[in-house]
Amino acid sequence: MRTAHPTRAAPKVAVGSPLLTISKLKVAYGGIKALKGIDLEVRRGEIVAMIGANGAGKTTTLKTIARLLPIAEGTITYDGTDVGPLDTEDLVEAGVSLVPEGRAIFGGLTVRENLELGAFNHKDKKLMAETIEDVIGLFPRIGERMKQEAGTLSGGEQQMLAIGRAVMARPTLLLLDEPSLGIAPKLVQQIFEAIAAIADSGTTILLVEQNTRLALKYAKRAYVLLTGEIAKTGESKALAEDPEIQALYLGG
Amino acid sequence: MPSWIKRGALALALVAVAVAAEFAMPVIIPDTAWRVLVQQALVAVVIALSLNVINGMAGQFSIGHAGFVGIGAYTSAVVASHMHARLGSPTDYSFAHSFMIVPPAIIAAGLVAAVFGFLLGLPSLRLKGDYLAIVTLGFAEIFRLLIATSSPGAPEGTLSHTIGQLGGQQGYGGPEDRGIAQYAGGFWLVGGAITAIIIAWRLKFSGWGRALRALRENEVAAAAVGVDPTSYKVTSFVISAIGGGIAGALLAGMRDGTPTVQPDQFNFFFSFDAITMVILGGSGSVSGAVLGGIFVTVTNRIIEQLQRLDSVEAFRIAHPDVDLNALRMVVYAAVLVALMVMRPSGVFGEREIIKGRRGPAEKPA
């Protein structure tokens, strides 16, 4: 996995220091409070997971970081910059890419077009070709289907494509929303191995995942969200052994 | 051969075709009625291609394209007629003079339509599907009714009087009603259609076109890769409006057309025909829009012509209670229904006759 970017400088913060800091973040849909003031930190080079039940606010958090939802209160800081006034496309430019939930691919476009759109922010031809090679390295199945309409791929392949497309932007911070949702177990394994490989190349990852066991296996640290608040946080290993987490999220 | 020579040669060839069309059209098609049909079909191609940007490529649904075409038609009619008067109102609309009249008329039409395209693009940021459709319909109807209900005879200083200078319900016929200047002959119509096809083609296969299609497929995902939905949606409306406005300019200035523009030309049925052209050919397909434009124009006329057949005349006399005009719409509708049943995504779907640089998707083996 090559990660150099043609126009973007490396993050200002050092490896191991906070790359993304969320402080007292509140988000509301109409009158409904989806996030009631959460604090969260992702350090450069980490895989961090957010776990929790449906409606806990995990997706809301990711969408708000990506500036797809308005911030009601609180701040989100990425690499020392307040992202509040930025638009989604500015954030992509700054190095934050989101893989939206539910295999959000462009179904009517070919697999190759999907990937090339991922490089929309730099449009660097050479880099594009290189990254496509890397994506094929991660997901050989995608390589076999480059000319196919993306909508005709299987669910797992679509998720692979969505991740590949985000990688095309050569992000510094990758936000992944439920990569395992509705996907055959065999493919889930491949997808998480790929996520681990992306992290190994130096990309920081914030992962939302309902499959707690999987999330805690791959993430270094995790946050447990409960109805819009952070209920628990810590090292994944410690959380996996926490009896409360085991009872609630790991099926006893 | 270097590509610029090839391109230059192709451009010259296309210009030659347009020039040839200017002089050959009256010779090849001596009958005015048929010549008008060909000219209408050429304008329809531009109309369909421009609407295809919003309805096909951007995946928004506008049912008010008549508004843009009408605005373009009125703007160009005013500009062309006044410039024509400046020339001393020569009675022949010579090809040489057309170069002084048509370009400014087209540019003015495009610019004014662009302004309205921008304004109409703004609600598209918040509205989707049916709701946006209603707004576009409302826009077109407001434009039409504003002109139709104004009257040049209204007391001076009123809005009705000002807008009434455009002729009100009777239509606009140039200064002192001497007829609007009709300089758009074969050269401008064929040239306009060719240019529209080239631009539509390049737009579709450009990065811009791809980003627009991405936005249509999945807005959140498009935003997530860095496509700014706001600017893309509004730009698509502006481009579509410019195309519609230019089509209107060509329509108003059509050499063999009627020398007036009337508000009721641009009613809902006009927009409806434009949508039919796009959907019939295949939403998002350039080839489809071209064929759809020609097909709808010609079919309408053929059904009209059929009514003049002796056997139909005899039928009409034998059964005076049957409304044949209504029947015409039934036949037309039946053709559309049949086509939609057989090819739900239009004749071409989103494909093209010839492959683009980034060809259409292959179906899985």
Residue ranges covered by each domain of chain A: 18-106+168-249
| A108, A121, A123 ranked by CB distance to B350: nearest | A108
Give the H/E segment covering residue B125: none
Q: With beta carbons less than 8 A apart as the criterion, state whether A180 and A215 touch.
A: no
| pLDDT tens, residue by residue, A147-172 | 999 999 999 999 999 999 999 999 99
CB contact under 8 A, A68 and B213: no
Rg (CA), chain A: 17
pLDDT at B151: 87
Q: Which residue of chain B is at minimal alpha-carbon distance from A90?
A: B226
| B218, B227, B358 ranked by CB distance to A105: nearest | B218
Q: Which residue of chain B is at minimal alpha-carbon distance from A121?
A: B226
Selection from B325, B221, B249, B240 nearest residue B73 by Cα: B249
**Chain A contact for B357 (CB, 8 A cutoff):** no
Rg (CA), chain B: 21
In a domain, B34, yes or no: yes
The larger pLDDT score, comparing residue B115 to residue B352, is at B115
| pLDDT tens, residue by residue, B32-76 | 888 999 999 999 999 999 999 999 999 888 999 999 999 999 999
Q: In total, how many domains does chain B have? A: 1
Q: Which residues are within 8 A (CB) of A8 and not within 5 positions of it... i.e. 6 or more apart?
A: A93, A94, A95, A170, A172
The ipTM estimated for the assembled molecules is 0.88
Q: With beta carbons less than 8 A apart as the criterion, state whether A234 and A241 touch.
A: no
In a domain, B310, yes or no: no
Q: With beta carbons less than 8 A apart as the criterion, state whether A229 and A37 touch.
A: yes
Distance CA B254, CA B251 (A): 5
**Chain A contact for B224 (CB, 8 A cutoff):** yes
Banded pLDDT at B356 (limits 50, 70, 90): low
CB contact under 8 A, B218 and A106: yes
Lowest mean pLDDT among B165-169, B193-197, B333-337: B333-337
CB contact under 8 A, A88 and B361: no
**Chain A contact for B226 (CB, 8 A cutoff):** yes
Flag residues of chain A having pLDDT under 70: 252
Residues of B whose CB is below 8 A from A110: 358, 361-362
CB contact under 8 A, B220 and A89: no
Give the mean pLDDT of chain B.
89
> A235 forms bridges with which residues in the sheet?
A221
C-alpha separations of A175 from A72, A191, B319 in Å: 21, 14, 72
Q: Which residue of chain A is at minimal alpha-carbon distance from B360?
A: A110
* Per-residue pLDDT at B92 exceeds 90: no
Interface with B, mutate which of A8, A98, A120 (most B CBs under 10 A) = A120
Cβ-count burial B72-98 (b if 16+ within 10 Å, e if not): bbbbbbbbbbebbeeeeeeeebebebb
Spell out which chain A residues touch chain B, with contact meaning CB-CB distance below 8 angstroms.
66, 68, 87-89, 92-93, 97-100, 104-110, 113, 116-118, 120-121, 123, 145, 147-149, 152, 162, 165-166, 168-169
In a domain, B229, yes or no: yes
Interface with A, mutate which of B225, B233, B357, B362 (most A CBs under 10 A) = B225
Banded pLDDT at B361 (limits 50, 70, 90): very low
CB contact under 8 A, B221 and A106: yes
- Dihedrals phi, psi of B166, to nearest 5 degrees: -85, 10
pLDDT at B346: 84
CB contact under 8 A, B227 and A120: yes
Q: What residue ranges in chain B does DSSP mark as E strands? A: none
Distance CA A150, CA A111 (A): 5
In a domain, B362, yes or no: no
CB contact under 8 A, A104 and B218: yes
Residue B245 carries which side chain, given as an amino acid letter? G
> Can you give the length of chain A in residues?
252
Supply the pTM of this predicted model: 0.86
| A89, A118, A148 ranked by CB distance to B362: nearest | A148
| B221, B222, B361 ranked by CB distance to A110: nearest | B361
C-alpha separations of A215 from A21, A52, A181 in Å: 20, 11, 12
* Per-residue pLDDT at B354 exceeds 70: yes
The larger pLDDT score, comparing residue B240 to residue B229, is at B240
The larger pLDDT score, comparing residue B304 to residue A173, is at A173
What range defines the domain where residue B17 resides? 8-265
In CATH, the architecture of A18-106+168-249 is 3-Layer(aba) Sandwich (3.40)
pLDDT at A124: 84
Measure in Å the smallest separation between the Cα of B59 and chain A Cα atoms: 12
DSSP B88: T
| pLDDT tens, residue by residue, A111-136 | 999 999 999 988 888 889 999 999 99
* Per-residue pLDDT at B302 exceeds 90: no
Banded pLDDT at B322 (limits 50, 70, 90): confident
* Per-residue pLDDT at B294 exceeds 80: yes
Distance CA B308, CA B50 (A): 33
Residues of A whose CB is below 8 A from B361: 108-110, 147-149
Q: Which residue of chain B is at minimal alpha-carbon distance from A167?
A: B225
CA dihedral A211, A214, A219, A221 (to 10 degrees): 60
Measure in Å the smallest separation between the Cα of A106 and chain B Cα atoms: 5
pLDDT at B355: 67
In a domain, B109, yes or no: yes
Q: How many CB pairs under 8 A join A and B?
A: 93
